[in-house]
Amino acid sequence: MRIFNFEEQLIPLDEWVQTSVDWLVLNYREYFQIIKAPVAISLEALEWLFATLPPFVVILLFALTAWRFAGKRVTIFSVLTFVLIGYLGLWEDTMTTLSMVICSVAFCAVSGIPLGIMAGRSKRFEMFLRPFLDVMQTTPPFVYLVPVVMLFSIGTVSGILATIVFALPPIIRLTNLGIRQVHPELIEAATAFGATPWQVLRKVQFPLALPSIMAGLNQTIMMALSMVVIAALIGAGGLGNPVVQGLNTLEIGLATIGGLSIVLLAMVLDRITQGIAQR
Amino acid sequence: MSNHVKISVKNLFKIFGPHPKNALHLLEQGLNKEEIFKKTETTVGVQDASFDIYTGEIFVIMGLSGSGKSTMVRMLNRLIEPTTGQILIDGEDIVNMNNDQLVKLRREKMSMVFQSFALMPHMTVLQNAAFGLEMDGIDKPTREARALQALEQVGLESRANSMPDELSGGMQQRVGLARGLAVDPDILLMDEAFSALDPLIRTEMQDELLKLQAKAKRTIVFISHDLDEAMRIGDRIAIMEGGSVVQVGTPEEILQNPADDYVRAFFRGVDPTNILTAGDIAVDSQVTIIVTDGKSPRAALQRLIKNDRDYGYVIDSIRKFQGIVSADSLRELIDRPEYPQEISNAYLADIVPAHTNDSMQDILPEVASNPWPLPILDSAGGYLGAVSKNLFLRTLHRSEPEESIEMTV
């Protein structure tokens, strides 16, 4: 049958995409550069902060946070991790990575929590959002790395933008879930006592969804960390660098200490945020 | 109780589903719920309900699950939007209110107590009790003071700083009640408020509610599927079936005159002797003999024989009860012409008339132990009627229609 002749390409989608990205780059590159600005400014501030703070202050801050929310074992583990990273000679890269993670997670939280709340309160908005979240979660980051570089040029900021795309879905999904899990009777009760929709959100839905939102935040942090190596491919600094460099030059040792530091940092951040979530 | 109307429900309908207008049209054509569901996939929740609730009464809406009673109460504060009809609260139609007016109404006039308690798990008992006041924007010290007062009313002030999940079910519902009372509402909506509690606690809570109601008269709309509960606390009861209100009345009225078989079936198994009073069941069908200008015993005897009765109830011209004569006692008097021939000399001894407010339980011994029907008097001593053994038993066996009671007496 003619219509099942798959020998030739009937739909040149690849060309269409190519053309439209080229067109975007040609005509609107300046605008995309403007979008970068808030991310760039936040990142610079964070990087400056972590570069200026003496290592023992950073370690102390983590230790205090861990002590306050996650207990003695996590505190000891955090201190040992940072000391080890320092002795491995990766302190600066780690601080860059930390700045990148905090920056991208902050942007994810600021945009993801409101989107999740809106999805939680509107079935239609949830339906609208769902395909976008599916695409963001299933598209391999390598696919959107190239257009990101073309539009935003290489560097740490582009790395963060790619990280935001990758790490945003869990916080939206878990915020949505948390809002939906609030018992309808509680919302009914609040409404019966004259609560406005805004009061229902602020006094009932949000506080009760908080554990789920915190779990989402934790997932987002983990995913942001897992993007560190990929972001290094487009020129982002941080702990991804020794790994990529190690792979390129077959320096297994360098790649290993980079990888080890990422894993340890992930564990520290995970344990501390889980501790906060359980409060 | 004043008969000032607090809430007036007029021709209220609620139809759930995609085409409420079509369903309304079909209802007008006389189709029933099932036929409408088949045709339009819509469910008739409440169908043409009309009734008044008076200020300060406990109005119980009773029905089995699916009868529309929960939908009904949620339309009174518009948690559920009515499809058509009117709900007047203090003469104001709340169905046409906009969101702002509605929020104001809910904050100022009414509160609600839920079957599942619906306490906020992230707030302390005190914060829960203060919830309505917080929504109203009342400052923290004032609202906490008022919430504490409400908690005192339900005896929970000592647990103000506990979390709800630390309390037992009964205590949690006391918090629910305190939350409802703290806003000092005119109207308290209680949706199966005590149904989730075990029987002992339930009775305790009912007493608590009656005690609170005695102190400050509120208009309470109480939803229940439990007839004993409805009888215990209800000033008046509305019975719902399949979305319609089939009968509204006091417990006694409904018990004595069930509107249909559904209502009758509902009331089967209720012990009427606690609810019905002597006055409710007394029937004025006995022979009464009015003592005016020295009516002779012979005339009285004639009257008994003519009516084929053994006992006559002697009253004066203003129906004040005087005594009971029997055919035998009259004959005895007539056979002894040496006695003054006045009816009072033929009165039976040991007559203890019952009062109209005595319960059936109270009058049972007297009814059972004497051959004559027990005379029932009002508070001024006026004769209202009598209760015979036959009538007493007929009342217990309520499935008989009313008419046959009259005939067999």
CA distance B128 to B82: 29
- Whose tokens are 């935040």? That residue is A217
Structure tokens at A231: 């972001």
Asked if the C-beta of B136 comes within 8 angstroms of chain A's C-beta atoms, the answer is yes
Residue A149 has a pLDDT of 86
Residue B293 has a pLDDT of 57
pLDDT greater than 60 at residue B404: no
- pLDDT tens column, B184-198: 999 999 999 898 888
pLDDT greater than 80 at residue B268: no
Asked if the C-beta of A22 comes within 8 angstroms of chain B's C-beta atoms, the answer is no
Residue A88 φ then ψ, to 5°: -75, -10
In this structure, which amino acid lies at residue B298? R
Residue B390 has a pLDDT of 84
Q: What is the DSSP string of B22-73?
A: HHHHHHHTT--HHHHHHHHS-EEEEEEEEEEEETT-EEEEE--TTSSHHHHH
Q: Which of A183, A194, A207 sits opposite B135 (nearest CB)?
A: A194
- pLDDT tens column, A95-129: 999 999 999 999 999 999 999 999 999 999 999 99
Residue B121 has a pLDDT of 94
- Whose tokens are 């570069």? That residue is A51
* Contact residues on chain B for A193, CB-CB shorter than 8 A: 106-107, 111-112, 131-132, 135, 179, 183
Asked if the C-beta of A182 comes within 8 angstroms of chain B's C-beta atoms, the answer is no
Q: List the one residue out of B230, B268, B265, B262 whose CA is nearest residue B249.
A: B230
* Contact residues on chain B for A189, CB-CB shorter than 8 A: 112, 114, 118, 120
The CA–CA distances, whole Å, from A93 to A99, A243, A259, B246 equal 10, 11, 12, 78
Output DSSP code: residue A182: S
pLDDT greater than 60 at residue B405: no
Asked if the C-beta of A215 comes within 8 angstroms of chain B's C-beta atoms, the answer is no
- Cα dihedral B211/B215/B220/B226 (nearest 10): 10
pLDDT greater than 60 at residue B406: no
A188 and B132: CB-CB below 8 Å? Answer: no
Asked if the C-beta of B320 comes within 8 angstroms of chain A's C-beta atoms, the answer is no
Q: Which of A186, A192, A194 sits opposite B120 (nearest CB)?
A: A186
Which residue ranges form the domains of chain A, and what is each CATH number? 93-253 (1.10.3720.10)
B118 and A195: CB-CB below 8 Å? Answer: no
Residue A1 has a pLDDT of 62
Q: Distance (Å) from the C-alpha of residue B54 to the closest C-alpha of chain A?
A: 21
Q: List the one residue out of A247, A252, A254 whose CA is nearest residue A93.
A: A254
CA distance A218 to A70: 14
Residue B398 has a pLDDT of 59
pTM exceeds 0.90, yes or no: no
Q: Distance (Å) from the C-alpha of residue B169 to the closest C-alpha of chain A?
A: 16
Q: Distance (Å) from the C-alpha of residue B384 to the closest C-alpha of chain A?
A: 48
Residues near A209 by beta carbon (within 8 Å), at least 6 away in sequence: A120, A175, A178, A179, A181, A182
Asked if the C-beta of B174 comes within 8 angstroms of chain A's C-beta atoms, the answer is no
Residue B296 has a pLDDT of 81
Q: Which of A188, A190, A194 sits opposite B136 (nearest CB)?
A: A194
Q: Distance (Å) from the C-alpha of residue A104 to the closest C-alpha of chain B?
A: 30
pLDDT band at B49 (very low <50, low <70, confident <90, very high): very high
Structure tokens at B159: 């647990």
Cβ neighbours around B330 below 10 Å, total? 25
Q: Distance (Å) from the C-alpha of residue B249 to the closest C-alpha of chain A?
A: 28
Residue B107 has a pLDDT of 92
Asked if the C-beta of B140 comes within 8 angstroms of chain A's C-beta atoms, the answer is no
CA distance A189 to B118: 6
- pLDDT tens column, B50-106: 999 999 999 999 988 888 899 999 999 999 999 999 999 998 999 999 999 999 999
CA distance B24 to B18: 12
> Checking DSSP bridges between strand B321-326 and strand B110-113, what pairing results, if any?
unpaired
Residue B407 has a pLDDT of 40
B118 and A199: CB-CB below 8 Å? Answer: no
A208 and B122: CB-CB below 8 Å? Answer: yes
Residue B13 φ then ψ, to 5°: -125, 145
Asked if the C-beta of B6 comes within 8 angstroms of chain A's C-beta atoms, the answer is no
**What's the whole-number average pLDDT of chain B?**
86
More confident residue, B276 or B71: B71
pLDDT greater than 70 at residue B402: no
In the predicted model, residues of chain A with pLDDT beneath 70 are 1
Average pLDDT over residues B43-56: 90
pLDDT greater than 60 at residue B399: no
Q: Which of A185, A193, A208 sits opposite B116 (nearest CB)?
A: A185
Residue B126 has a pLDDT of 95
Residues near B176 by beta carbon (within 8 Å), at least 6 away in sequence: B113, B114, B117, B118, B119, B193
Give contacts of A 187-206 with B, CB under 8 A. Answer: 188-196, 199, 203-204
More confident residue, B228 or B87: B87
pLDDT band at B344 (very low <50, low <70, confident <90, very high): confident
User: In the A/B pair of chains, how many CB contacts fall below 8 A?
Assistant: 57
Residue A26 has a pLDDT of 86
- pLDDT tens column, B106-161: 999 999 999 999 999 999 999 999 999 999 999 999 999 999 999 998 889 899 99
* Contact residues on chain A for B79, CB-CB shorter than 8 A: 188, 191-192
**Which of the residue ranges B30-44, B271-285, B307-321, B393-407 would you say has the lowest mean pLDDT?**
B393-407
A192 and B120: CB-CB below 8 Å? Answer: no
